[in-house]
Each structure stands twice: as C-alpha cells, then as structure tokens.
Amino acid sequence: MKKTNAIGLAAFLALVGAQAGEWGNWRGPNYDGSTDEKNLPAKFSKTQNVQWSVKMDGPSAGTPVVWGNHVYVSSSNPDAKRLTANCYDRRTGELKWSHLVANGHRQDNRSDYASPSPVTDGQVVTFFYGDGALATFTPDGVKLWSQNIQEKHGQFAFLWTFSTSPLIHNGILYMQVLQRDTKVGSKGSDDNRSYLLALDPKTGKQLWKVYRPAKARSESLEAFSTPIPFSHNGRDEILIAGGDCLTGHDPKSGKELWRWGTWNPTRIGHWRLVPSPVAGGGVVLACAPKRAPVYAIKAGGEGNISASGKVWNSEGSRDGVSSDVCTPLFYQDSFFVLYGEGRDKMLSRVDPKTGKIRWSTDLQSRSLFRGSPTGADGKIYVQNHAGTVHVIDAKSGRLLHKAEMGESGDDQTRASVAIAHGRLFIRTNGRLYCIGKS
C-alpha cells in the first residue's frame, strides 16, 4: 500500500512538474500572463541569446503556445490567401507539421483572420480563425476534426474581424462569441445572439450552448476577449467580459453564476471590448475601453452583484491606469496594467486589494502596444507594434532593455511573449524566435 501510494505520488509530481513548464494557452499556465520560469535573459537581440529562429508563413497576432517539445503557431499568408496551423520543434525550430485550415486572409486593414491564439492541453491542439474555422489535431499533427462556427451557429455580426482564442479546461473546449444583436452591414442577422459554446475537444461534438444577454448597444456588444478559467474558495468558473458587463459561469453547464456591470452606465454605443478578464488577490479585473477606468470586482459573487461587487476602480485617463486593448498581467501579487495607446504608453503596477499605484513607467515607445505583458523571473516582457520587445524590472518599473526583433517598416505586431522551458518565444510579423541563455 505504501509503495503504491509512493508511486502514485511520484507520478502526480511528475505530471505537475511537466505542466509547470508549459504555456498551453495565450495567457500561460496560470491564465494570468505569468509563470514561475527562472534564469531568463534580460538582454537579447536578433543575434544575442538566440537559440533558433524561423521564418513565418505570414502575420498573426496569435501568441505561440508551447507543450513538451512542440511549439504551435497560427499564420495567415496574404499572398496565397491561406490560414495555416503549424507546429515547430521546441529544441531546434524544425517544422514538424503544417496544415491548411481555411482559405482567406482578412476582411479589414486592422487585423487578419489568424489573430486568435491556439490552445493545447497536451492531448490535442485547437486552432481558431476569425472567419469561423475551427480545427483540432493530435500533437503529432493528425487531424481529428474541423468545423466552421459561422456555418453551424450563424454568421458573425462584428464591425471588425472577429477574434477570440479558444479555451481548453478540464477536458472541455470553450468558444465565446459576444456579438451585436443586429446586422452589421451585410453581416449577421436581426436575430443575432451572443453565446458560450462547449465542445468535446477530441471529437468536436457539441456539449452545450448557452446564450449570454447584455444591455449594451451596437458596437459595445462586440467583444474580442477570451474566456478565462478561475477557481475561488473551491468553486470553478469561467470568466467572460464583454457587452458592458463581467460574468462568471459554471464550467460544466455554462449557467451564469454571477454578473457585475457596468463600466458604461450611459450605454455609449461604440465601446467594443478587447482585454480579457484577469483574476488575482481575491478580485477579478475588468478593463473598460477608450481611456476609461479598470474595475476590480470581488471574487465569489452570487447573482447580480452590480450594486455591491465593486472593490475599487482606477481613474482611467486621470491616473493613467487604463487598458483599451492589452490584457493586464497578474504577477508577484500585483496587477500590471498597460495602456498602449496615445503618446505616453504607461505600464502601472497596482495593488489588487486597494487599487493603489505602486509605480508607473512610460515605456518610451512611438509604436502602439497591442500585445499583453508577460511576467517571469522578476521581469515583464511586452512587444509593441514595431516588434520591439521591452523588458521591465517588475519590482521597480525600471526599463531594463529594448530588443528590436521586428523588421524595418514592421507594424501591427500584436503577439504576446510566451515563456516555457527556460525560453522566451517571440513571434513577430515575419519570424518566430526562441530566446534563452546558452
């Protein structure tokens, strides 16, 4: 009996150790942009501390995901009009496999269909694209299934190209579609509804679909956020931000557990939402757009907590703690909120219990920031539109280094930095870099 328990414990610890080094979704192992990885370089370039780099098929805002010896990356090819799912060897950068998932590239000049990040749990890997294409493969590249969300659930109703990343959590694949309730030009219908969809990740079979109503109007119903799993006091839930409100859902049924709103009391109609929710320190953070405040909502709510759930909010444009696009990071018991627009691109470290600003740093960048900050080894890594990665000391806010990883004339680089197995994985418009100390 003791021997059996010892073997079981050893297997459990080995599993935990294996997962600890992975980056299976766009916000990492803790779903908050952080990881416990150590011994990461503060300084690097296209030649310094580069383990390998490979040319990409085309641009994508998707963050690479890493599991075991696999690095999964989405790409769009503007010339060939193709959307591909790709897998590279984590140790060498060699292309292991590549699949054409759909034909197309973009519907507007702000983004492309390959903006969502892939997701993996080590058993399967799922890729989603803004045209509705959804495909799942084994780690070795065997196609398990594919479908198009628009064909099964109705045409999307978004002003811009739809983007949300899929989530795999406890054996369920989740897809979030928060859209307008009327047509957008010729897109959608006058009977559109927002919904959360659960699928079997190995077969694509629908497990359930629940509608998520909201009081927002027009473009403010549109969200480009990603559902985030969260556990508090033994209760698991899926967090969803969009439609001027924040909600928590039962992962097994999709039932709404609680709702808080709103950051938009006057129902402004053009406040589409991009940042995903992030939890830490007993609160859930939601970011209102357009230089508006961020809101900390008490975790563990029941029912409608609009009147009682708020713990604090920032002052937005007045104190600089705001985020129009970038999802905040929770790391070292603090939120790191990045406002990447305008002239002054500010990164602020904020106390989760009080909202007090511990420090704010101007990142001194002409280019916008649309990627989200990543935290590890006492450092914050974030990439701007030009493909320049900024490295900031988490404790002091001091800018440690700028690494120009993009090519001349690069713009609209949006991928966040992934960290796994002691390496940084940086995806620019044209290349994928694996960075680490030799």
Average predicted confidence (pLDDT) for the chain: 94
Q: State the residue for tokens 């700028």.
A: 402
Residue 15, SS3 per DSSP: helix
pLDDT at 72 over 70: yes
- Encoded tokens for 337: 């909120």
* Higher pLDDT among residues 78 and 405, named by residue: 405
Per-residue pLDDT averaged across 132-144, rounded?
Answer: 98
Determine phi and psi for 31, rounding to 5 degrees.
60, 25
Determine phi and psi for 221, rounding to 5 degrees.
-80, -20
Q: So what's the pLDDT on residue 20?
A: 61
Give residue-wise pLDDT tens across range 354-400. Answer: 999 999 999 999 999 999 999 999 999 999 999 999 999 999 999 99
Q: Distances from the Cα of 436 to the Cαs of 283, 390, 421, 424, in angstroms?
A: 34, 16, 9, 6
Q: Counting runs of H as helices and runs of E as strands, what totals does the chain give?
A: 2, 33
Domain boundaries, the chain: 23-435
Instruction: Give the type of residue at 59.
Output: P
Determine phi and psi for 8, rounding to 5 degrees.
-65, -40
Q: Distances from the Cα of 324 to the Cαs of 91, 156, 214, 242, in angstroms?
A: 36, 22, 20, 13
User: From 3.40.350.10, 1.25.40.10, 2.130.10.10, 2.160.20.10, which CATH number describes the 23-435 domain?
Assistant: 2.130.10.10
Residue 436, SS3 per DSSP: coil
Q: So what's the pLDDT on residue 19?
A: 54
Q: How far from the centroid of its chain's Cα atoms is residue 216's Cα?
A: 23
Q: How far from the centroid of its chain's Cα atoms is residue 38's Cα?
A: 22
Residue 9, SS3 per DSSP: helix
Q: Distances from the Cα of 4 to the Cαs of 7, 8, 11, 16, 348, in angstroms?
A: 5, 6, 11, 18, 49
pLDDT at 16 over 80: no
Segment among 101-115, 217-231, 252-266 with least mean pLDDT: 101-115
